[in-house]
Structure 1
Amino acid sequence: MARFDLYRVSSRRIPLMVDVQAEILGDLASRIVIPLRVLEQAEEPPLPRLKPVLMIGDQTYLLLTTDMGAQPVHWLGKPVGNIKAHRDEITSAMDFLFQGF
């Protein structure tokens, strides 16, 4: 499992989750993930520093940083991609959530 791997979720509301946990902690039974929601289906507005908009493939998603949580590794399955190209935006959103800057 690699940081910023994407996992498909069998939910219409949340189709993808991104793994944000440090790879050095890969032996743990769970991973910290952030849900991604298709922007057009999002009920909440984008907040650039906290809930940024990410373009993944040909779809625009809202990173729901405030909804991050732990999921069991066996529940995630196999990754369907990796979005390390969005590393700075994701890390900045987490910094803002936890540090306020």
Structure 2
Amino acid sequence: MSRFDIFANPGKNRGNIPFLIDVQSNVISGLATRVVVPLRPLSAFASMTPPPELFPIIDVNGEDHVMDTPQLGAIPSSELKSNVGSARVHQFEIQSALDRLFGAY
């Protein structure tokens, strides 16, 4: 498991949030949980486009998803079973969104 890995959402809300992105630093290992951010389909935001500085757009399997940064949380590592890809190519946008959320800009 590595930072910026994308996993299928194991939760009951996977219809609205099909994927989770791991944003926890690789320096912190051995914990029972990982910090993740929901990835929602961009199509769910048909009436508006979320501001990209807080809600980066991440491609997952050819479909655009919005990283719902303010909804980050922790999930047991054992539940993150189905790795579907990596968002490492978006690390700058992801880190910038996290910095904006925490006021570290």
Q: Establish whether TM, by shorter chain, passes 0.5.
A: yes
In the alignment, what sits opposite 1:64?
68
> Deviation string for 1:19-78 (max 9, x for gaps)?
000112121000000100000013764111111222333111111000000000011114
Greater Cα offset, 71-80 or 89-98: 71-80
Q: Secondary structure at the match of 2:83?
A: coil
Identity value in percent: 36
In the alignment, what sits opposite 2:39?
36
Q: Secondary structure at the match of 1:35?
A: strand
What RMSD, in angstroms, separates the aligned Cα atoms of the two structures? 1.6
Equivalent residue for 1:86, pick from 67, 90, 101 = 90
| Structure with the larger helix share | 1
Amino acid at match of 1:66: P
In the alignment, what sits opposite 2:9?
9
Distance 2:104 2:24 in 1: 20
> Deviation string for 1:69-97 (max 9, x for gaps)?
00000111142211100000000000000
5+ long unaligned stretches in structure 1: none
Aligned residues: 101
Distance 1:75 1:55 in 2: 22
TM score, norm. by length of structure 1? 0.90
In the alignment, what sits opposite 1:75?
79
Distance 1:97 1:58 in 2: 27
In the alignment, what sits opposite 1:25?
28
Distance 1:28 1:100 in 2: 25
